[in-house]
Amino acid sequence: MLRLWNKFEDLNNKLYLFPLLLHYITQKGHTYVIKDEKPYKTYDNITMNDIIEAKNICHEEYECLLDKQQKGMILQKERFSLEKYYYAQIFNVYLEDIDLGFMKKHYNKIGVYYNNRDFIDYWYNGFEENTKHGNKFDNQNKFHRMKCIQDVILELGFDNLDCKVEKKDFDKNISDMLKLINSNFRMLFGMKKAEVDNLIKIYKVGDTNNKPILGFINKLIGEYGYKIKAIWKAKYNKKTKKMDSSIITHYKINILEILNKE
């Protein structure tokens, strides 16, 4: 019950609470001022440079620091070393290779790795309420999210994560996919109604320019490690007898580059 209440408060804080508070303030005849203050960096923030410059640690040191963290005794610089170790292990790189180029691609993407791992397991094995990690509420919330992502992928015509869908079928399926984005769906992913409504308004059935829709879909499934990419084919010009243009023939689901360890 406590977790449900916290989720309710989280949704209100992000989408409804503050605008409603300002409305009631003015309704009661009061005024307010919103100060444009620069945010301050707190001690707990971890930046890319903090991770890059952190000390490289071995597995034994990692276990020791993990124990200190669980006891609330860890130092900030030690937390940076832990983060660096996480990135190296999860993305299968050497600690020495974690530089600015690596961090720009992988920063804050650890959650994508875990989402992808859980989603693949869900896609092929279904959902088990009694999982090894987390509690019933967290697992149910995770399940509903993954089911929504799976429904989106299936509605677009992808029977599995490795197949291709012809462009004409993909374009036709978009309208059915958009029907999935109801109020429950939006609340689950913290979406604003106006954002989805505007997206639906600009889409027309059979429209070949589906870049905005595709961007929306890829942002959604990107949190689970996937991206839908267009497959292009060169078109032969009979007059010039040259390959002078390309057309989209299919769409395919690709795993994100940061997760591809091949």
Mean local confidence (pLDDT), 161-186: 90
Whole-Å CA distances, 108 to 33, 100, 104, 192, 258: 34, 13, 9, 23, 12
What φ, ψ does residue 21 adopt, rounded to 5°?
A: -60, -45
What does the pLDDT read at residue 166?
A: 94
pTM: 0.73
Length of the chain: 262
Whole-Å CA distances, 197 to 17, 36, 90, 194, 237: 21, 30, 37, 5, 40
Of 39-53, 152-166, 175-189, 193-207, where does the model show the most confidence?
Answer: 152-166
> How much of the chain, in percent, has pLDDT values that exceed 70?
84
Encoded tokens for 175: 């309208």
> How much of the chain, in percent, has pLDDT values that exceed 90?
44
Lowest-confidence segment of 20-34, 89-103, 119-133 by average pLDDT? 119-133
User: Maximum distance among all alpha carbons in the chain?
Assistant: 75
Task: Indicate if the pLDDT at residue 238 is higher than 80.
Answer: no
Region of 108 (left: φ > 0; alpha: ψ -120 to 50; beta: rest) is left
pLDDT tens figures, 33-87: 877 655 434 334 578 999 999 999 999 999 999 999 988 899 989 999 999 999 9
Whole-Å CA distances, 33 to 18, 25, 26: 13, 11, 12
Of the candidates 203, 158, 161, which has an alpha carbon nearest to the alpha carbon of residue 179?
203
Mean local confidence (pLDDT), 205-232: 85
pLDDT higher for 16 or 133?
16
Task: Indicate if the pLDDT at residue 151 is higher than 90.
Answer: yes
Residue 95 DSSP one-character state: G
For residues 259 and 257, give the distance between their C-alpha atoms in angstroms, rounded to a whole number. Answer: 5
Confidence of residue 12 (pLDDT cuts 50, 70, 90): low
What does the pLDDT read at residue 44?
A: 46
What does the pLDDT read at residue 192?
A: 83
Tell me the pLDDT of the chain averaged across its residues. 83
